Amino acid sequence: MPELLKRILVPIHREGRIFVAIFALVTLLAWLVWSPIGLVGTVLTLWCIYFFRDPVRVTPTRAGLIVSPADGIVETIAPAKPPEELEMGDAERTRVSIFMNIFDVHVNRIPTDGVITKLSYRAGKFVNASIDKASEDNERQSVRMVTPDGLEIAFVQIAGLVARRIFCELSLDQSVKTGERFGMIRFGSRVDVYLPDGVAPLVCVGHRMVAGETVVADLTANEAARTGEIR
C-alpha cells in the first residue's frame, strides 16, 4: 500500500503550488454557491495538480550520455542553426525537437553533465509549439553549456500556443548534472536540443521521451542516426 500511494501521490512542482491553491480556493467557494460549478472546479483542480506533478526519475549516469530534457514526442530531427543569441556560430547542428502537450510532465531536466556558459531569454510570439517556425518566432529561453570533454550543447525552452511563462533556475557558470531539474514551461510547449557536431541522435521522430531518463544521444558512440517505423 505505501508503494502504491507513492505512485499516486506524486510531488507537485513549487511553481504550481500557488495555482493549485487558487484553484482549490475558487472550487471551495463554488461549492458554497452552486454544487454543479463546484464539481467543475474540483475537476479543474485535480487537472491542475496533475499538470504540475513532478515525479522522481531514474537517470542513467554514465559519462557521455545526453538524456531528454522534456517529456513528450519527438516532433522533428533536422539540421538547424542554434539561436543566434547563444553565439555558437552559423554552422548547422542536429536539432531534436520535443513537443509537450498539456498532459505531459512539464518539469524540464538537464541533458548532460557540464557547466552553463550562456543564458538568454527572448520574448516572442505564441504560435503552436509543434510547428517548426516556433523555434524562431516564439518566446524562448536558450541555454548553452559545455561538457567535461569540452563539447558544446544547447537546449532551448520554447513557449507554446497557450504557454505564458517559461521558468528557468539556471545561472551562468553553474555546474550541472544529468537529469537535474532546471525549470518548466506552463501549459503546452517544446524543448529543442542541439547536439555537438558529428553526434547522431539515438531516437527517431515519433518516439515518446521521458525527461531525465530517455537517452537522446551518446557522445562516445560512433553509431549512425537511427531510423524507425510504426508497427
Q: Provide DSSP, 43-80.
A: HHHHHHHHHTB---------TTEEE-SSSEEEEEEEEE
Query: Is 189 a known active-site residue?
Result: yes
Residue 181 near residue 108 (C-beta atoms within 8 A) = yes
Spatial distance between the Cα atoms of 170 and 58, rounded to a whole number of angstroms: 21
Number of C-beta neighbours around residue 48 at 10 A: 18
CB atoms within 10 A of CB 136: 14
Q: What is the set of active-site residues?
A: 189
